[in-house]
Chains A and B, each alone.
Chain A
């Protein structure tokens, strides 16, 4: 049996959801026999691969780069899992949403700066979107896994169900803020 092609992606999150993924501990060995990790924050290629079976995405869509990435991910993946509160609700990244982007940059790079006060980056760094947004506001999402972060048990349950060809319903194992 060919292995299931799994990709994990880190958008505007703190990497905590990925840490929780790693917290599956010895169960990772079992998973390693069943899946091939074709993309993750610790692989070299920057380009998201084609023909992904399961894409697991942490973080909100906060910049133009995030938006571009999530569209590519959706196009190239059969199942898209929204992992963690930042992906599901936009969570902490959305705390800036009641404010204007220009005001936030002024605050962070000007008012709060001890040295070299400025107005924020104008090149290289991708521009922020007007609002940080949950994944499902911009692309279709197949599975929602709330939690900040979702526990290793919740993640393992979701993966096992997907590998068994079922649609996971992790409501009993996790919730907003869990």
Chain B
């Protein structure tokens, strides 16, 4: 099999890429960090959070780096002032949408949402907080799902489906009513499909999915397993 090698520029840097790679993959290989939340290496990208939006010369639209394939001669900008403003806005909306209280959160200090806010310099939320009343599902013997902290990135849905093969998780509802659910919106503890593997917990970027018995700031996630499992999946 021959692989076509493409040449393009990312942030004025000349880079080469294999055909079929995404902007995110090529940027990462070349040491360029693009902010992201829904994307995690090892799961199929979905372009849900829009944090990775980039400018591509010749296209008026902003394109998500995690799902956009590179092409010959492409000129990509990943960190313009405009993109920085949009990224702050997206993070403000995520913080305002549900109830985030970092100081008392099990994921404090280990949370992708929190660290992304710091990275892009989002230091206060300018839109009104919504303070929805949301459920905490603690019916599972090992894990907890706290919808107050969920950003609907669907990492849990994808890992459970694509890696574990259980497809316990899915998304229900629309807009502000969207929720991740287990089985047919049944309590997680009653789920007949969940194998209790814990993969969803460990890919979840926030304090939404956690292990029981963890106190404030104790829920560090283990992500090292993902690339290995993906590799195995490819080689089978």
A-side residues, CB < 8 A to B, are 82, 85, 88-92, 94-95, 97-99, 131, 134, 136-137, 141, 144-146, 148, 169-171, 175-177
Contacts and interface: CB of A to CB of B under 8 A. Distances in A.
Nearest to B104: A92
25 contacts: A88-B123, A89-B100, A89-B125, A91-B103, A92-B101, A92-B103, A94-B99, A95-B104, A97-B131, A98-B131, A134-B125, A141-B124, A144-B123, A169-B121, A171-B123, A175-B102, A175-B114, A175-B117, A176-B100, A176-B103, A176-B114, A177-B108, A177-B109, A177-B111, A177-B114
B118 A94 contact: no
Interface in B98-130: 99-105, 108-109, 111, 114-115, 117-118, 121, 123-126, 128-129
Given A88-B123, A98-B133, A169-B121, A177 B102 contact: yes
Given A141-B124, A175-B102, A176-B100, 15 more contacts: A89-B124, A91-B101, A94-B131, A97-B131, A98-B132, A136-B126, A137-B128, A144-B123, A146-B123, A171-B118, A175-B115, A176-B117, A176-B118, A177-B108, A177-B111
B101 A94 contact: yes
Main secondary structure of the interface of B (DSSP, over half): loop
A91 B102 CA distance: 8
A90 B117 CA distance: 17
A92 B121 CA distance: 22
Contacts of A95: 99, 101, 104
B101 A88 contact: no
A134 B101 CA distance: 13
Contacts of A169: 121
A142 B231 CA distance: 50
A97 B125 CA distance: 16
A91 B104 CA distance: 9
Contacts of A177: 102-103, 105, 108-109, 111, 114
A171 B121 contact: yes
Contacts of A141: 124
Contacts of B99: 94-95, 98
Nearest to A171: B121
Contact of A136 (B100, B117, B124): B124
Closest 9 A-B residue pairs measured CB to CB?
A177-B102, A148-B103, A175-B118, A97-B131, A176-B102, A144-B123, A177-B108, A144-B124, A98-B133
Given A98-B132, A146-B123, A85 B103 contact: yes
Contacts of A131: 131
Contacts of B121: 169, 171
